[in-house]
Amino acid sequence: MNSFQRTFAAAAAVLSLGIFACDQSKAELDQAKAQLQGMTAERDALKTQVNALQGQVTTLTKQLSDATASLAAAQAPKPAAEVSHTVTHHRARPAGSSSTADTETAQPPEPTPQQVEQKAAEQKMTGRSSMNN
């Protein structure tokens, strides 16, 4: 029991010194708590900003990939079937016809598949068309 009493006395001494030390450092502790609360609020605000920016990056990345795909589709070479179709679509004029009379009654040419794709991509990106069809 003698060792138990010594341990108890030592614990009591440390506890009493701790109580006196707490009174002296209470102001420092309160200051540290206030600083911690301020930094926590700042951290939370920065996390919110990061999340919003990540959402914007995701949206812009998707728009970029859509625009890249539209550009690649617009620049892709025409298949042979489409090329032969455009060649057979045009006819030679009869020898005696006047070019002025043909231009007055002729309809504007149909848009090419590339123009149609480009128009669709522009409408998707901007919500309006740049062609007058």
- Closest among 4, 29, 6 to 18, alpha carbons compared: 29
4 lies in a domain?
no
pLDDT of residue 88: 53
Angle between helices 2-75 and 113-126 (to 10 degrees): 140
Residue 111, domain member (yes or no): no
pLDDT at 133: 47
Average pLDDT over residues 51-72: 95
Higher pLDDT, 2 or 65: 65
Whole-number mean pLDDT of the chain? 77
- Report if residue 61 sits inside a domain: yes
Span 100-123, mean pLDDT?
73
Query: What pLDDT does residue 77 have?
Result: 80
Structural domain span for residue 26 = 10-66
Question: CA–CA distance from 53 to each of 39, 50, 75 (Å)?
Answer: 21, 5, 32
Residue 37 lies in a domain: yes
Structural domain includes residue 106: no
How far, rounded to the nearest angstrom, does the alpha carbon of residue 48 sit from its chain's CA centroid?
16
Residue 18 lies in a domain: yes
Q: Does the residue 25 lie in any domain?
A: yes
Q: What average pLDDT score do residues 67-85 get?
A: 77
27, part of any domain: yes
Segment (H or E) for 9:
helix 2-75
pLDDT digits (tens, 9 = 90+) for 18-51: 666 666 688 888 899 999 999 999 999 999 999 9
The H-or-E segment that residue 100 falls in is: helix 99-105
Please choose, from the candidates 40, 62, 60, 63, the residue with its C-alpha nearest in 3D space to the C-alpha of residue 52.
Answer: 60
Q: Which residues contact 102 (CB under 8 A, 6 or more apart)?
A: 93
The two structure tokens encoding residue 97: 């016809």
What's the domain count of the chain? Answer: 1
Q: What is the reported pTM? A: 0.38
Answer whether 121's CB lies under 8 Å from 74's CB: yes
Residue count (the chain): 133
